Amino acid sequence: MPPLREDDPRSVGGYRLESRIGAGGMGVVYLGRSVSGRVVAVKVVHTRYADNAEFRARFRQEIAAARRVSGAFTAPVVDADPDAERPWMATTFVPGRTLAERVAESGPLDWPALRRLGTELAEALREIHRAEVVHRDLKPSNVLLEGEGDDGVVRVIDFGISRAASSDVRTQTGMVMGSPPFMAPEQFSRPREVGPAVDVFSLGAVLVYAATGRSPFEAENAYLAAYNTVHSEPELGELPEPLRPLVSHCLAKEPADRPTSGEVLDALAGLPEALTDGGPGEEPSRLPVTVLTGAPAPQSTKAGQTGQGPRRKRRWITLAAVAFIAVTGTASAALLGIAPASTVDEVDRADPQAAPRGSAPPGWKPWHKTLEPDEDDPIPIGPACTPDALGVFCSSPQIALMRMSPATGHVDWSKPMSKKEVNSFSGGEPVVHDGVVYVNSADRSEGVDAFDGRTGERLWHLDGPVGEFAYLSGVLLVRLDPLGPSDTARYAAYEPRTGEELWRRELAAASPSPFYEGPEGTLYADLRGGSGGIARLDARTGRTLGDVTAPKGDLWLATVHDGTAYYARWENDTGVSAAFFIQDLGSGKTRRIDFPWSVEPEAPPLVHGDTMYIFDYGNETLLALDLKRGKPLWTSSRELRVFSEPAIHDGRLYVNMPDTSILALDPRTGKEIGRTTPSFDTAGRSFEELTPSSMPPLLVGGVLYGVSEPGIFSVADVSD
């Protein structure tokens, strides 16, 4: 066993700790010894969770569940203190190895060992369920084989996410508790409704693993394994024939179609103790017919929860995400949609592999600037910055706009903000397009100023207050009315460089930001909640060209790309989604994509070709979905912790990391291509203290620009 680490406690609750047994998501398990010499396993909750009321309640629940089911096939609780500074629980120490270790070291089990394993696991589950407890995380690493060889007693351990029928602790919406690929489908789609049937499903998956060395829903990562569990039939591999009918029914998609743990035990008891050779014409052993009577064949079910609660006001209502377009390596433009309507249309539409890589600006060296003033730059950079080929443009309560050199990070020029007193700074990131920068006006009237990005000359001004503004389809769109609860609002379009008003209209729409970029000089307007659906407008005249009826339900129009609308379905009032609806805005036809579990997008997804990339803020992962097949391609691991919206440049997918490095991924596989060195020292700051960035990395001429909570930085692109 691994020795104790320097920061590990030496004793807990009167038990002397001697070594580490293992560590999990909730805590660390130690080998401990009582004063009398009794050996125990002591589980201690991680320090970071000790002050979390939910985790403390969950740990109390684990202790109660473990005490209720202590028996021949579990590790009895010896002592516990859920109210300690670091809650802990001591159980009888069971020497042995887990089923996962056994299979990894010695390969799949033979028939006698497999039959015994199944019988003892089924008996353990029967006793657990009789105590009105659902384990919910039965997997090979939670199955302990006591003693040597395959003849030892089976013990079911770790009731960390178990739940008693009378428990008051409920799974949060969007929180997936368990371990793909041994979880049941309903643990992804209906986590609050799980019952004993989930353990039976896991038992079936564990038996397949024990017999073949693989889960029946094996995949490259947890997300794909979850998708396979919900949508695909199990791969049983070389599972012995006598077990196949029983295991198939344990793995039924619908809980009602699975046998109970007691029925599984009866069926296993009726199997032969030894397999026949199965010669020509010889029938293999079959299950008793009574076990299968009335159980229909397993049917696939779709994930996703209903819920038509009111639209949740998301963070992007006031801080819209920015998407970038890389243009032939020498110029770029930042496109900011009126939040939440910022789009990722036309991102890298040309062949990404053919795009030239360009070169760094003359005299460029890696640089970084903190958001706070320092000795070199007494002017505070401020919280809102947009990188561009011309430089990095920032605004703050003190500075209306400044440009930092892309080569050095030094301030080239700045425009002061009026000294007029206001309650707060309401400006967002500067909008940059074709050399013009649009920001909240320097007179603090909450209007719009347009500056020449090269010289800093103000080109035109629009009096405020206005709601929001964005460059879309060749015009600057401005909401003329302040943001706030209203069924209607006035919008106007302006010539980007001169400020000439092109048109204005009053629209009836539920969305505070209804516009999206369309093809060939058109706009899409989300008029749901008013008198229409999704309308197509001429961007230069504002004239309506046509419309389609939007799908019904509590849907957020997340983005529009290449004439296709992508809607996320909110689950109640949670801001998480388990399904996307995809609508052709020409024909109005709609189809649906379901996710195995709920994701929490905080900004519009990135659509590139036939793939959608979604940054899940809740789990800090990046999901890639095949839009043609309606299936996931890959997901980043939760241990990786993606920390920004993604961007595609030169055939690579780029994201920020918590340590302020930039990660490059293969868009087709999610495999890491490389990463830059961190630009800031984040030592001593936990991930929880940092905030993911809404600004994706920008690649210009072989140089990457990133915006993170510590500041702004410029680094060389990841080498091949």
Number of CB atoms found within 10 A of residue 368's CB: 17
Round to whole Å and give the CA distance between 610 and 627. Answer: 5
On the question of pLDDT at 374 being above 80, the answer is no
Strand 606-608 to strand 590-599: parallel, antiparallel, or no bridges (unpaired)? unpaired
What's the confidence (pLDDT) of residue 705? 94
- Cβ–Cβ < 8 Å for 521, 515: no
Highest mean pLDDT among 192-196, 219-223, 345-349, 445-449: 445-449
Most confident among 92-106, 575-589, 662-676 (mean pLDDT): 662-676
Instruction: Check whether 301 has a pLDDT greater than 50.
Output: no
Per residue in 327-339, pLDDT (tens digit) is 222 222 222 222 2
How far is it, in rounded angstroms, from Cα 718 to Cα 720? Answer: 7
* Separation of alpha carbons 361 and 348, rounded Å: 21
Task: Count CB-CB contacts under 10 A for residue 673.
Answer: 16
If one compares 718 and 322, the residue with the highest pLDDT of the two is 718
> Which one has a higher pLDDT value, 440 or 620?
440
How far apart, in Å, do the first and last CA atoms of the chain sit? 40
Cα(457)–Cα(413) distance, integer angstroms: 10
Q: Supply 515's token pair.
A: 């516009």
Residue 34 has pLDDT above 60, yes or no: yes
Does position 363 have pLDDT exceeding 80, yes or no? yes
Measured CA to CA, the distance from residue 327 to residue 316 in angstroms comes to 26
Read out DSSP for 556-622?
EEEEEETTEEEEEEE-TTSS-EEEEEEEETTT--EEEEEEEEEE-BSSPPEEETTEEEEEETTTTEE
The better pLDDT of the pair 229, 278 is held by 229
- Residue type for 36, please? S
Domains of the chain plus CATH, in order, are 94-275 (1.10.510.10)
Task: Answer whether 614's CB lies under 8 Å from 576's CB.
Answer: no
pLDDT digits (tens, 9 = 90+) for 127-168: 888 888 888 889 998 898 876 555 557 888 876 544 443 433
| Averaged pLDDT, 61-68 | 77
Amino acid sitting at position 641: R
Judge contact between 644 and 709, C-beta under 8 A: no
Among residues 664, 670, 719, which one has the least CA distance to residue 697?
664
Cα→Cα distances 545→7, 34, 118, 220, 519, Å:
67, 80, 65, 46, 13
- Residue 619: predicted pLDDT: 74
Which stretch of DSSP H or E encloses residue 185?
A: helix 185-189
Burial class from Cβ neighbours inside 10 Å (0-12, 13-18, 19+) for residue 310 reads: exposed
Placement of tokens 């301030």 in the chain: 411
For 147, 201, 244, 290, 333, the CA distances from 295, given in Å and listed in that order, are 37, 14, 15, 10, 60
Q: How far apart are CA 548 and CA 534, in angstroms?
A: 5
Mean pLDDT of the chain: 79
Report whether pLDDT(105) > 50.
yes
pLDDT at 250: 97
Can you read off the two tokens belonging to residue 29? 């398990």
**Res. 375 pLDDT band, cuts 50 70 90:** low
Q: What is the mean pLDDT of residues 462-488?
A: 89
Cα separation, 394 vs 439, in Å, equals 9
Placement of tokens 């809607």 in the chain: 567
Please compute, for residue 422, the number of CA atoms within 13 A of its CA located in the half-sphere on the CB side. 16
**What's residue 401's pLDDT?**
92
**Quick one: pLDDT at residue 179?**
66
Residue 490: predicted pLDDT: 94
Q: Compare 609 and 719 and report the one with higher pLDDT.
A: 609
* 3-state class (DSSP) for residue 211: helix
Which of 278-287, 412-421, 537-546 bottoms out in mean pLDDT, i.e. has the lowest? 278-287
Count of CB atoms within 10 A of residue 54's CB? 12
pLDDT of residue 370: 85
Q: Which two tokens stand for residue 298?
A: 């397993």
The segment with the largest mean pLDDT, out of 187-201, 423-437, 577-591, is 577-591
User: What residue type is 11 in one-letter code?
Assistant: S
pLDDT, average across residues 655-671: 92
